[in-house]
Chain A
Amino acid sequence: MSGPLSVRLDPRTKLALLFVWALAVLFSPGLPFEAGMMALAVVFGALCGKMRLSIAMFALYCAAMGIAIALAQVNLGIFSTLFNSFFLLVRKVFPCGLLAAIIVSTTQVNEFMSAFSKMRCPREVTIPFAVMMRYVPAIREDWGYIKDAMRMRGVSPTLGGFLRRPGLTVECLYVPLMMSALNVADELSCASVARGIENPAPRTCHLHIEFGIADAAVAVVAAAVLAAAIVLRGLA
């Protein structure tokens, strides 16, 4: 699931890191700072064994920022507000987005559940969350079948098909997805009850979860970034 170069962190550290990152973006003094945060997220991704994902997202980010800077040089009149707000969104969202993607792809459902249980999070929160984490990737599997079924009925499951007959395409997608979701939700909860998910004892995890040196290092870096964001903003 993860590459050869991989540091394992406590899932609680990961969640805290994501929270601090969101705050730091909020306080951030400007583009150079956010670019720095993006670079740090790439380093984090590389350490977690998600090199390709990180580099790809970083390249996309650089390209977007390059275009934004270039467009800022020319006057586009009414369009400039439109472009500015779009690129501001990209600028702010990407550092957190990359981090979230890395965290979700390197943490398993049972790690999250055990961590939540350690944080004394009620099961009413953890179980739906875990089901969501389990269900979202399953949609991709469903999509393969639905796409085939659409093509056999002469409905094109492509962007072009969507633009030609949007209503029909959407219907073809959500009807089978809803049917399958209802079914899956029922059988999944049935299976989890039969495996004792309702047991009130604190959940454990087959993977070791502990606040270690790596977690401490991540915490220090995150705290420093947040502090820097607040201080630099005050200076500016």
Chain B
Amino acid sequence: MIELCDVTFTYERSAPGRAAGVSRLDLAVPQGSCVLVCGPSGCGKTTVTRLANGLAPAFFPGALSGRVTIDGRDCAQMQSWEVALCVGSVFQNPRTQFFNVDSTGEMAFALESRSTPEEEIRKRVAETVSELGIQHLADRSIFSLSGGEKQRVAFASAWAARPTNLVLDEPTSNLDMQAIMDLRSYVATAKAAGASVLVAEHRLWWLAGIADEIVVMGDGRVTKRLSAQEFASLSAREVRELGLRVRSLNDVAASARVTADSQTRSESAPRADGRAGAGEVFQAETGLDVRDARAGYRKHGVLRGVDLSVRAGEVVALVGRNGAGKSTLSRAICGLAKGSGAFRLFGKEVNERERLARSSMVFQDVNYQLFAESAASEVVFGLPKDRARSVDVEGILSSLGLRDVSGRHPATLSGGQKQRLAVASCVAAGKDVLVFDEPTSGLDLESMRRVASLIRRLADEGRVVLVVTHDLEFIACACDRAVELSEGVVAGSYDVAGGVGAIRRALFVDSQCDDWT
């Protein structure tokens, strides 16, 4: 049982990108129930999870008033490890919550901390593994696990100690559909076992039928409290007006398409190679043509003959299971992965080196691709001096809404700004092909739509844009077509205008996630 009574919390240090505090918050998660806290970024929902698992104020110092009680005990009187005894936590990023390098050791971690005898630990870990059906994930090196597999292990390590409360902070942000469906079943298991489950999330649809109460927050306050029935009875439009992502993937409609932001478009940057930015000219032209692409690690073939053709100005989503070859195909297109096959760009055959010069990826974690000490120098980083001089840095930055931060260090920018800065460097280098990897992971509705309109604009300027994504709502907003990869070949191509039902099936989403009541 988690209870927050009239809680106000302000962080001691507030810096950009840090979570917002909460004020006058009341919340109760009774045993055997699940409460979903949602709202736009910066609404304070992460802070709610930190209050519930004791990290605020124990780990994140700040001023707390009001009472937080866990199983009837006042949190203020408890040490961090005492709270940890009754609250299991799962965080957003599966890469950074592992303390061990082996999966079984990770699942045993919480039990080891509380000095549980070793036979007991082994028994409990084995029980958890079989209860969650993750036998294939036991005794593995964490470096051999995918993000989704890591998150399954992270849940198991929280659940192995059978805490009476579970707190999940945006647990699906970095996951593929199959992993989300598994996580859904784990949460259902925990709830059925009598645990109080508190989830802070942007993605809502996966909790249909599990969440009992939906708490919508804004600016650190509760703006709306809904039972599952009340939530189900809202219209799709009302949900959108609350600033929330879709409640059910059935609500996703192809008509949700965004258009390239007209304001930013009018002052859009001139292409570095001097070509005009008028989209119509490129509409019919085949931008990227891939024939029989093959690639793999050592003898194991990951791509086994991919044929793909993308028009300039078109945005294509690459979908498919983990290991289907999406990232290897992206790397091959960008000239990063060794392999065979014929690649043409705007009708001309291009080798690896030319592809590397004319295409670029924007990573899910853009921190890896920011190198310079200011946003302005980042734009031209790596370009030869004479070319760097001819780039209109200011124009590019302002077209991406970054003019005000041109002197700031990239590390101090927000996630969205970093992403746009990475895009700015691609624009400056005159890249014709852009491949985005999960650009909308962990984004709220508004930020997602902003990314969607940015991507549309990049395509409208005559580029080829590919997006590796699991986000159906984003596909409906921004993409023209979804290409499904399976076992290293193209298994299907679906026009978004023809409805998203087929794409949904390609993303492997069960229909059980449609019913909230």
Contacts and interface: CB of A to CB of B under 8 A. Distances in A.
Given A1-B141, A191-B91, A197-B113, A148 B361 contact: yes
Interface in A127-161: 130, 133-134, 137-138, 140-142, 145-146, 148-155
B367 A176 contact: yes
Contacts of A192: 99, 109
Contacts of B331: 148
Given A137-B101, A152-B369, A198-B81, A206 B115 contact: no
Interface string A170-195: 01100110011001100111111111
Contacts of B97: 187-188, 191
Contact of B89 (A134, A191, A197): A191
Nearest to A180: B367
Interface string B89-129: 10101011111111011001111111111100110010000
B95, B96, B143 interface centre (most CB from chain A within 10 Å):
B96
Interface stretch (B51-59, B202-210, B211-219, B301-309): B51-59
Interface centre among A108, A114, A175, A189 (most CB of B within 10 A): A175
A1 B382 CA distance: 41
Interface string A52-94: 0000000000000000000000000000000000000000000
Interface in B62-102: 79-81, 84-85, 87, 89, 91, 93, 95-102
Contacts of A187: 91, 93, 96-97
A205 B118 contact: yes
B118 A207 contact: yes
Given A153-B382, A187-B91, A110 B84 contact: no
Contacts of A140: 143
A140 B357 CA distance: 25
Given A152-B360, A193-B55, A196-B114, A206 B371 contact: no
A68 to B, nearest CB: 36
Interface string B141-161: 101000000000000011000
Interface residues of B, number: 67
A153 B110 contact: no
Contacts of A176: 367-371
Give the bracket for the number of chain A residues in contact with chain B. Answer: 35 or more
A191 B370 CA distance: 26
B84 A204 contact: no
Of A137, A150, A176, A189, the most chain B CB neighbours within 10 A belong to: A176
Given A108-B105, A145-B365, A204-B116, A152 B100 contact: no
Contact of B84 (A1, A153, A194): A194
B139 interface: yes
Contacts of B239: none
Contacts of B84: 193-196, 198-199
A206 B101 contact: no
Given A193-B80, A198-B79, A110 B100 contact: yes
Given A183-B367, A191-B91, A152 B121 contact: no
A108 B114 CA distance: 18
Interface in B336-392: 336, 356-357, 359-361, 363, 365, 367-372, 381-384
Nearest to B154: A191
Interface string A190-222: 111111111111111111100000000000000
27 contacts: A1-B141, A108-B105, A109-B105, A137-B101, A138-B143, A141-B143, A148-B331, A148-B336, A154-B429, A171-B371, A176-B368, A176-B369, A176-B371, A183-B367, A188-B97, A190-B91, A191-B99, A194-B80, A195-B113, A195-B158, A196-B80, A196-B110, A196-B113, A199-B81, A199-B84, A203-B115, A204-B121
| Closest 10 pairs (CB-CB, A-B) | A153-B382, A196-B84, A201-B115, A187-B96, A206-B108, A191-B97, A149-B369, A199-B81, A196-B113, A194-B89
Interface of A: 1, 108-110, 113-114, 130, 133-134, 137-138, 140-142, 145-146, 148-155, 168, 171-172, 175-176, 179-180, 183-184, 187-208
